[in-house]
Structure 1
Amino acid sequence: MDTLQTSREQTVRGLYDAYLQGRKDIAAGMMTEDFTFSSPRDDHIDRVAYFSRCWPEPPPFRDIEIEHLEIADDEAVIRYRAEKHDGGAFRNMEVMRFRGDRIASVDVYFGRNV
């Protein structure tokens, strides 16, 4: 694995760790200034809207387990299982696009409850 790919894998894992801890400051440092986020509920929202809509306080999850992570060129494809504090759990898929070593965009594809 080359250095950039290793760095990107660490960034992906670090983003999920920051989410679990509610550390927007750490996550923001991993993103480009023109970062965008898309999901079935959000269409290319910017960083400000992303942190406002997608990072509730307190953080809702007690664990996020990465089940699949593949990085090719400037994209990472991730499947994860998220466990909520209330006992619920679900799987999602995400595609992260990188510019250099920072995340330029995230597209989330909602999965099912497990």
Structure 2
Amino acid sequence: MKTLDPIQTYFSCYERSNKAALENLLDDRLEFSSPHDNRLDKIAYLERCWGFNESVERYHILKFIENTNEAFLSYKAITYDKREIENAEYFKIKDGKIITIKVYYGNL
């Protein structure tokens, strides 16, 4: 399995508002961090972050660098009101599931 596959599925879950698929994709030991969140677990991540699916129309991966079971990428999110948001994220994958996400904000 390529590292990009679960990450593409992750973004697709937001684009399609498929929370069940996202829950299945995230490891139960998920650790999520961002400039506003310090090490959220899977439940806290879903409670805090899932609502963004109602704002985003699509994602475009701009740059993707992978190393075995981890990846760093930058992307552009296009919202329904046509705003463009650029961020970078670090992902760690274990057994096909996302176990770590670290977000670095760009322009909001």
Aligned to 1:89: 84
Instruction: Provide, for residues 33-74 of structure 1, a one-character-per-residue CA deviation record: whole Å limited to 9, x for no partner.
Output: 111110001000011111111111762111110111121022
Aligned to 1:76: 71
Between 27-36 and 54-63, report the one with greater CA deviation. 54-63
Aligned to 2:23: 28
Residue 19 of structure 2 aligns to which amino acid in structure 1?
K
Distance in 2 of aligned mates of 1:20 and 1:78: 18
Stretches (4+) displaced over 3 A: none
In structure 2, the gaps of 5 or more residues are: none
Aligned to 1:37: 32
Residue 70 of structure 1 aligns to which amino acid in structure 2?
I
The number of aligned residues is: 108
Tell me the percent identity: 23
CA shift in 2, pair 1:57/1:90, >3 Å: closer
Distance in 2 of aligned mates of 1:48 and 1:63: 24
What TM-score comes out, normalization by structure 2 length? 0.92
User: What SS does the corresponding residue of 2:76 show, helix, strand or coil?
Assistant: strand
What TM-score comes out, normalization by structure 1 length? 0.87
Larger Rg: 1
Residue 99 of structure 2 aligns to which amino acid in structure 1?
A
Distance in 2 of aligned mates of 1:57 and 1:14: 16
Q: RMSD in angstroms over aligned alpha carbons?
A: 1.4
2:65 is equivalent to residue 65 of structure 1? no
